[in-house]
Structure 1
Amino acid sequence: MNITASLVKELRERTGSGMMECKKALVETDGDIELAVEQMRKSGLAKADKKASRIAAEGSIFLCGADDGKSLVMLEVNCETDFVSKGDEFTGFAESVAAAALGAGVEELEALRKVTLPSGNTVEQARLELVAKIGENVNVRRFVCFTSVNGTIGSYLHGIRIGVLVEVEGGDEQLHKDVAMHIAASKPEFISENDVSEQVINREKDIFMAQAKDSGKPENIVEKMVEGRMKKFLGEITLVGQPFVKDPDIKVGKLLQQKNARVLRLARFEVGEGIEKKEENFAEEVMAQVQGS
């Protein structure tokens, strides 16, 4: 059968693959475009499986909110390069996943992977097809959904790399935005001292005690030193204990009091945090190739 340019073009549009790859698939299927699409999808998914072990530490943070403002989803999707993270195909996929997470009301990542998108594919099927299409590993890493009955969900996106959700009771829209921005900048681990576990407190106290005793000071002085360092430590890791980024003369806890507001929960995502990135050594790579040849 004669493989026409229009047939190749149609297959390219449907699969996103290269011209020669499309022409080859059409020749192998004797011009049956549906069969060609099926074979290319199978081939692409096989390639996607091979890319699964590749480190994906770049990507973007996405937000998707309900019309009534009472629910908001924050999602991190990773890829291998910054270039891909800014592409329309990657962004379109991630936005559809965020919307699916909001609409499905799921809480676990495994459940989200099984949610069906408007395209008819599940999230996982769409991810695999995207990997095959763009040639990079893509990973839906994590998401969180805040739904508030009596409070308000504040949010902040710093570019595409840092995202924050914060549920606040009381206050106004400007306060909610300011607190979310502060969380993005200052990275509090807890809302208040009451949220810090005994394990964390005892660990730090032991460290400070050992450091203070090494100073050779009397026991009563050592106790005061440890007390002061613990107070400083708890102020640094708690939202209410941190100096407000827009006005360091006031702490966030005091700001909330002034606005008759209370933070109920918070979440902060930063692209790639906690992912061990592969260190590239191009000199060693070239040397290995030279020795191999």
Structure 2
Amino acid sequence: MQITLEQIKELRKLTGAGVTNVKEALEHSKGDIDKAVEYLREKGVAKAAKRADKQADKGFIAHYIHGDGTIGVLVELNAETDFTARNEKFRELAHNLALHIAANKPEYISRENVPADILNKEKEIAKASIEGNKPEAVVEKNSRRKNAKVLRRGCLT
């Protein structure tokens, strides 16, 4: 089967993979775009597994200190190569993370890091704040929504 330039462009647009990988995937899948995407995903997982033992020991430390000195943030962002760590976009990302942390003041990295007792307390507060004689399903749904809003503000991710 002949692989066309249009197929290569389409698959690259869908996956962001390199030309060589895209061409290989299309040849492997006999021109079927869906199968080629699946092939690239499987190959990407294999690449990620190979990289699991790599050390991300090159990095950059960004800082932010508020004008009045009341807030200060240090963020260390690491990469595998010095080339990446010296890249201006990488440094900009580290700085933007520092600004984000300073502005939002998260207490936890993610929801998974929030202790169960804090989650339960927030859930009870959310339930108590819902007024009226509403069905349990409505109370539960609204309390979940309020709880999620509180957690979004309290977590970095």
TM value normalised by structure 1: 0.29
Partner residue in 2 for 1:219: 136
Work out which of the residue numbers 124, 128, 132 in structure 2 matches 1:210: 128
Q: Deviations over 1:161-186 (max 9, x none)?
A: 32101233457000101110121122
State how far apart, in whole Å, the 2-side matches of 1:198 and 1:228 are. Answer: 17
Whether 1:192 and 2:100 are equivalent positions in the alignment is no
Q: Deviations over 1:195-249 (max 9, x none)?
A: 111111111111112222x321101111101111111111111112xxxxxxxxx
Work out which of the residue numbers 48, 63, 67 in structure 2 matches 1:155: 63
State how far apart, in whole Å, the 1-side matches of 2:121 and 2:129 are. Answer: 13
Work out which of the residue numbers 232, 236, 239 in structure 1 matches 2:149: 232
Runs of 4+ residues deviating >6 angstroms = none
Partner residue in 2 for 1:167: 76
Larger Rg: 1
Q: Which has the higher strand share?
A: 1
Unaligned runs of 5+ residues in structure 2 are 1-55, 80-88
Identical-pair percentage: 40
Query: What secondary structure, in the 3-state scheme, does the structure 1 residue paired with 2:129 have?
Result: helix
Higher RCO (Cα < 8 Å, 6 or more apart):
1
Query: What secondary structure, in the 3-state scheme, does the structure 1 residue paired with 2:118 have?
Result: helix
State how far apart, in whole Å, the 2-side matches of 1:215 and 1:209 are. Answer: 11
State how far apart, in whole Å, the 1-side matches of 2:117 and 2:147 are. Answer: 14
Please tell me the root mean square deviation across aligned C-alpha atoms, in Å: 2.1
Counterparts in 2 of 1:158 and 1:150: CA distance versus 1, 3 Å: same
- One-letter code aligned to 1:222: V
Partner residue in 1 for 2:99: 181
Counterparts in 2 of 1:199 and 1:221: CA distance versus 1, 3 Å: same
Unaligned runs of 5+ residues in structure 1 are 1-147, 241-293
